Amino acid sequence: MVLHHRSRYGRYAGGPDPLAPPVDLSEALEAVAEDVMAGYSPRHALEEFLRRGGRNRDGLDQLAARVQQRRKDLLGRHRLDGTLDEVRKLLDTAVLEERKQLARDALMDNTDRAFREMQLQNLPASTAAAVNELASYDWQSGSAREAYERIKDLLGREVLDQRFAGMKQALENATDEDREAVNGMLRDLNGLLDKHRRGEDTDADFREFMARHGSFFPENPQSVEELIDALATRAAAAQRLLQSMSPEQREELMRLSAQAFGSPELMAQLDQLDSSLRALRPGEDWSGSERFEGQEGLGLGDGTGVLQDVAELDSLAEQLSQSYNGSALDDLDLDALARQLGQDAAVTARTLAEIERAMRDGGYLRRGADGDLRLSPQAMRRLGKSLLRDTAKQLSGRQGRRETRAAGAAGDQTGSSRQWEFGDAGPWDVTRTMTNAIRRTVAEGRDPGRGFRLGVGDIEVTETEARTQAAVVLLVDVSFSMAAEGRWVPMKRTALALHHLVSTRFRGDRLQLVTFGRYAQSMDIAQLTALPALREQGTNLHHGLLLAGRFFRQHPSMQHVLLVVTDGEPTAHLLADGDSWFNWPPDRETIRATVTELDRLGRAGVQATFFRLGDDPGLERFIQRLARRIDGRVVAPDVGGLGAAVVGEYLRAHVRSSYGGSDWDL
């Protein structure tokens, strides 16, 4: 006999998928870095990204808005007199059936009939008062008696459903034995809670209680504390339900509750339960209320469930706000979020929490000496790589441009090769490039004999023994006009892209970043990235050129390359005592000092390129004159193309020096 085993596969439901790929941090890192470059702290930038979300993912604000809309919908759809309406309908049915029976009963004494008619005719307008008045009425109609008994049954199930979700349906058509089982459960529950309040209960007491009455608790609590938590949450919601009613509705229901199952003992047990839960969980909201404005009537149990939902939504709103001390997205109740907004919301929140955790714990943010979070070197490298990739796309997409090279290489070939990277100027290793393409084509299951395409990853370039090294100074204007005109972040993105290119591809080069405002200052890439925009007047190009000259003198054997990014004429220069002299319009002495230092760099053979931002005619004329003095170049990119322009000029200068002065047109 052969046994056939079948396996069934479905969506993993045991928490986060252990086989899921790691969360993609590229978008988060770029967004955080963009805000950091704009002047935000990394902590605030990360919080803002989590609030905004990504291109294809909601953020905390969108989830919070959905939570508020769900809350509004619940309160706007319902009203709280559903139980009163049901009782009134059953009462009307009982009275109508009784009158029909009285009219049909010819054997009844006329006096008795008249008395009964008068009693039915003069019932109080209050539903509760009418139900209570008919408690001792001797019904002549069996259907009328049945309708009246259903009132007591309904009230009993409703008041139990307030404390134990699902009880209304579970006790429908219940027998006397079923009701006695409920009373027994309540007696044992109150006894257990009373012992717990006195500190006399044991684990055995809880296990014994659950063994006898566990079917009443679908939540399957694992301890008496979990049991109390579940009961107190619903009991508090039931109390808020009563306080959300009008005084007339509340009074009617309180009077009607005496008729629940026709059992005063039931209400006494429930009152004792409420008292114990209030004492055990005073932190629950026992005094709140809500305003229901809809048309869909709710019974006591359903209304209590809605208010539980409202309380859960309020808790989610607080968690999503992240406004309390020590808040973190790990605090989010994903199960509650899935219940209220659907599984997609829980997945979104889990992903945001993973992003926050990965950014904080994955080495992308680190604490500085002052205790504040900062972008780590790892984050800077990843961001620089991304920015350089964007710059490469801009360069390769320029229409009508092509690369031209002079024959020969910058050094003898070593016989080895490596994968091509952006900025490589060496010749291809054709044999290895073609071999890589053929291997990839075969691995993809295609026949290379029928043709194949080269991919970027296939290309290998020949290594050479020697390359001309360059000492590069990127001088960037940090006067306030750069920030005011929207050039602040593009300037930083440019510096990051160039820094990554030099540090990864041209490791033999040396790059110095120099900022110049009222004063000039040499900075590392992390300092420049985090530099806030200062409302400080002054464009001290003179001081920047002095620092550039000092750097070049430290690397005398290298090719000297100067890249200057500015949007204004020099308005400050450094005095002999180290102070900065500022004047607007530009002072003659400031211009003289700037030109003198530039001439000194020109005589030392510096290759200079000026990147002029903006359309000011005066700046254009001035920059052109500066460039002509030292045989430099002027580039006037739009702000979005600044990175491509600077990287392109660096490569142009580097390749020109490597190939004996040949032009490399990017």
**pLDDT tens-digit map of 4-24:** 445 455 555 555 555 455 667
Q: Find out whether 451 and 445 touch, Cβ atoms under 8 Å.
A: no
User: How many other β-carbons are positioned within 10 Å of the β-carbon of residue 254?
Assistant: 12
Start-to-end C-alpha separation, the chain: 76
pTM: 0.65
Q: Within its chain, how far is the Cα of 354 from the centroid?
A: 10
pLDDT tops 80 at residue 481: yes
- Which two tokens mark 395? 């360069």
pLDDT in the model for residue 1: 41
Q: Which residues pair with 566 in a beta bridge?
A: 612
- Find, among 220, 240, 387, 389, the residue nearest to 300 by Cα: 240
Model pLDDT for residues 536-586, shown as the tens digit of each residue: 788 999 999 999 999 999 999 999 999 999 998 999 999 989 899 999 888
Quote the CA–CA distance of 551 and 547 in Å, as a whole number.
6
- Find, among 52, 68, 71, the residue nearest to 60 by Cα: 52
Q: Find out whether 580 and 589 touch, Cβ atoms under 8 Å.
A: no
> Looking at residues 475-497, what average pLDDT do you find?
89
Regarding predicted confidence, which is higher, 468 or 454? 454
pLDDT tops 90 at residue 71: yes
pLDDT in the model for residue 464: 60
pLDDT tops 70 at residue 2: no
> Looking at residues 624-653, what average pLDDT do you find?
89
Quote the CA–CA distance of 220 and 564 in Å, as a whole number.
70
pLDDT in the model for residue 521: 94
As a whole number, the mean pLDDT across the chain is 83
Quote the CA–CA distance of 362 and 249 in Å, as a whole number.
57
CA dihedral 294, 297, 303, 305 (to 10 degrees): -90
User: Can you list the domains of the chain with their CATH numbers?
Assistant: 26-78+313-375 (no CATH), 81-291 (no CATH), 411-466 (no CATH), 470-658 (3.40.50.410)
Indicate the pLDDT class of residue 45, thresholds 50, 70 and 90: confident
pLDDT in the model for residue 523: 92
Angle at 450 (CA atoms; ends 446, 451), nearest 5 degrees: 90
Q: Find out whether 367 and 621 touch, Cβ atoms under 8 Å.
A: no
pLDDT tops 80 at residue 369: no
- Which two tokens mark 318? 């607080």
> Looking at residues 597-625, what average pLDDT do you find?
92
- Find, among 594, 470, 473, the residue nearest to 522 by Cα: 473
> Looking at residues 640-660, what average pLDDT do you find?
75
Task: Report the relative pairing of strands 520-523 and 510-516 from DSSP bridges.
Answer: antiparallel
CB proximity list for 361: less than 8 A, separation 6 or greater: none
Least confident of 141-155, 187-201, 397-411, 547-561: 397-411
pLDDT in the model for residue 27: 81
pLDDT in the model for residue 661: 40
Q: Find out whether 298 and 79 touch, Cβ atoms under 8 Å.
A: yes
- Which two tokens mark 622? 């001035």
Quote the CA–CA distance of 329 and 319 in Å, as a whole number.
8
Q: Which residues pair with 580 in a beta bridge?
A: 574
Indicate the pLDDT class of residue 442, thresholds 50, 70 and 90: confident
Kindly report the length of the chain: 666
Q: Which residue has the tokens 């009963």?
A: 105
pLDDT tops 70 at residue 240: yes
Regarding predicted confidence, which is higher, 219 or 395? 219
- Find, among 585, 597, 588, 589, the residue nearest to 516 by Cα: 597
Least confident of 213-217, 324-328, 438-442: 324-328
Q: Which residue has the tokens 């190009």?
A: 541
User: How many other β-carbons are positioned within 10 Å of the β-carbon of residue 621?
Assistant: 11
DSSP, collapsed to helix, strand or coil, labels residue 328 as coil
Share of the chain above pLDDT 90, in %: 35
Least confident of 195-209, 353-367, 485-499, 537-551: 353-367
The values of phi and psi at residue 336, to 5°, are -65, -40
Q: Within its chain, how far is the Cα of 146 from the centroid?
A: 57
Indicate the pLDDT class of residue 80, thresholds 50, 70 and 90: confident
Indicate the pLDDT class of residue 657, thresholds 50, 70 and 90: low
- Which two tokens mark 618? 């005066």
C-alpha distance from residue 11 to each of 22, 275, 322, 339 (Å): 18, 44, 31, 18
pLDDT tops 60 at residue 396: yes
Task: Report the relative pairing of strands 460-464 and 413-419 from DSSP bridges.
Answer: antiparallel
Q: Find out whether 511 and 472 touch, Cβ atoms under 8 Å.
A: yes
Quote the CA–CA distance of 489 and 493 in Å, as a whole number.
6
pLDDT tops 50 at residue 402: no
The values of phi and psi at residue 614, to 5°, are 95, 170
pLDDT tops 50 at residue 152: yes
Q: Find out whether 666 and 401 touch, Cβ atoms under 8 Å.
A: yes
pLDDT tops 60 at residue 30: yes
Indicate the pLDDT class of residue 425, thresholds 50, 70 and 90: low
pLDDT tops 90 at residue 211: yes
Quote the CA–CA distance of 27 and 359 in Å, as a whole number.
12
Quote the CA–CA distance of 452 and 430 in Å, as a whole number.
15
Q: Which residues pair with 612 in a beta bridge?
A: 566
pLDDT in the model for residue 505: 81
Quote the CA–CA distance of 305 and 219 in Å, as a whole number.
14
> Looking at residues 377-395, what average pLDDT do you find?
76
> Looking at residues 126-132, what average pLDDT do you find?
89
Task: Report the relative pairing of strands 470-477 and 559-566 from DSSP bridges.
Answer: parallel
pLDDT in the model for residue 21: 53
pLDDT tops 90 at residue 427: no
Indicate the pLDDT class of residue 655, thresholds 50, 70 and 90: low
Phi-psi region at 273: left, alpha or beta (left = phi > 0; alpha = psi -120 to 50) = alpha
Amino acid letter for position 29: L
Quote the CA–CA distance of 85 and 149 in Å, as a whole number.
16
pLDDT tops 70 at residue 272: yes
Q: In the chain, count of helices (H) and strands (E)?
A: 25, 14
pLDDT tops 50 at residue 509: yes
182 by Cβ neighbours in 10 Å (0-12 / 13-18 / 19+) ranks as buried
Q: Find out whether 179 and 261 touch, Cβ atoms under 8 Å.
A: yes
pLDDT in the model for residue 8: 52
> Looking at residues 587-614, what average pLDDT do you find?
93
DSSP, collapsed to helix, strand or coil, labels residue 106 as coil
Q: Could you write out the three-class secondary structure of 476-514? A: EECCHHHHHCCCHHHHHHHHHHHHHHHHHCCCCCEEEEE
Quote the CA–CA distance of 263 and 261 in Å, as a whole number.
5
Q: Find out whether 375 and 33 touch, Cβ atoms under 8 Å.
A: yes
DSSP, collapsed to helix, strand or coil, labels residue 653 as helix
pLDDT tops 70 at residue 446: yes
Q: Find out whether 227 and 185 touch, Cβ atoms under 8 Å.
A: no
